[in-house]
Amino acid sequence: MNIKYKIIIPLSLVALLAAACNSKSTPSANNQSGNAGNNNITAIPQNAQNVVTYTDNGFSPKTLTIKKGDTVVFENKASDDARVASNPHPIHNGYPTTGGCVGSTFDSCANIAPNQAWSFKFDIVGSWGYHNHLNPSEGGTIVVTQPSASAAAFSQSANRLPAKPAAMVTSPTSQPVKTSPSVSASSMPSPAQKNFTVNANDNSANLTTITASKGDIVSIKFNVAANETYHGGLDFRSPNLSTGTIVTGSSKTVSFTATNSFTFIPYWPATNIQKPYVIKVQVE
């Protein structure tokens, strides 16, 4: 069995269709040009690994957990168009990459017709809500996890060379074998998981400094109080990572690998008014 062809054919198909879509000038306001990476709308691919299916009943599974770097294929098997977009509606900026047609690049931007699919690669660890922009009450969550060092090395060799895990083949030559990165990575200690809970309202939070070590996987659960918070809720924003809108009385969890210190600033999402406190993430 030749695995290479299975991988190369769908990818080149994606590239061709993406190029075709972008060269066409469409009058649709939803179609943003100059954003080629985003309009990966194709026929439904076969044998996709991470699939969310949209039917007339909404998205399934509601929560899909993947590894950082995985691509999710959103397949439309419903009778109507769908447009997958990062929460919150309508600003689509929850997934923290800018340059999409509205906010985040996690946005199909164009409508996905029945029997078409849209693919998106997730490079940021965290829990990312999305919705159908054409019917915003429908949605789901993609949970992107950080593979542990050894798991990452294993899944890379397992995905690409299932029949021949290169790292484990003993070299038949007498030359010294270079230590491969996967071997040294697997001998490194796994990063620590650190969990924090922030209880916040419009005026203050119970936890305003979070301390972690470089490399830690940090999870912060933001609870937005039902009382003493304007009903539109809060959005905790930082240069690289934002929670998106958390409505009053609900919570959201963000996860990331600690690299540099930064600060979350809470805002009223509807009016972009900054609240009078900050939450510092101190990485030592």
How many Å separate Cα 199 from the centre of its chain? 24
Residue 111 lies near Cu ion (rule: CB under 5 A): no
Shortest distance (Å) from residue 29 CB to Cu ion: 13
Q: Which helix (H) or strand (E) holds 139?
A: strand 135-145
Angle at 130 between CA 92 and CA 279, to 5 degrees: 65
Nearest of 140, 41, 119, 34 to residue 81 by alpha carbon: 41
Of the pair 102, 185, the CB lying nearest Cu ion is at: 102
Alpha carbon of 216 to those of 126, 143, 179, 281, 284: distances in Å? Answer: 14, 18, 25, 12, 10
Cβ at position 259, least distance to Cu ion in Å: 30
In the chain, alpha helices (H): 3-23, 149-160, 181-186
Closer residue to Cu ion in complex, CB, 14/112? 112
Task: Please identify which residue in 85, 124, 125, 153 interacts with Cu ion, judged by CB under 5 A.
Answer: 85
233 close to 243: Cβ distance less than 8 angstroms = no
Q: What is the nearest approach in angstroms of Cu ion to the Cβ of residue 228? A: 29
Q: Which of 90, 99, 181, 249 binds Cu ion (CB under 5 A)?
A: 90
Instruction: Show contacts with Cu ion in window 113-142 (CB under 5 A).
Output: 133
As measured in angstroms, the least distance from the Cβ of 266 to Cu ion is 22
Told to check if 100 binds Cu ion by CB under 5 A, we report no
Nearest-approach distance from CB 139 to Cu ion, in angstroms: 9
Q: Residue 154 has which token pair?
A: 């294993």
Should residue 89 be labelled a site residue for Cu ion when binding is judged by CB under 5 A?
yes
CB of 107 to Cu ion, least distance (A): 8
Q: Should residue 239 be labelled a site residue for Cu ion when binding is judged by CB under 5 A?
A: no
Contact between 110 and Cu ion by CB under 5 A: the answer reads no
Q: How far is the C-alpha of 102 from the C-alpha of 108, rounded, in Å? A: 10
Pairing of strands 193-200, 217-224: parallel
Identify residues 155-214 at the interface with Cu ion (CB under 5 A).
Answer: none
Q: Which is nearer to Cu ion, 226 or 270 (CB)?
A: 270
Q: Using CB under 5 A as the criterion, which residues of the chain lie in contact with Cu ion when the complex forms?
A: 85, 89-90, 133
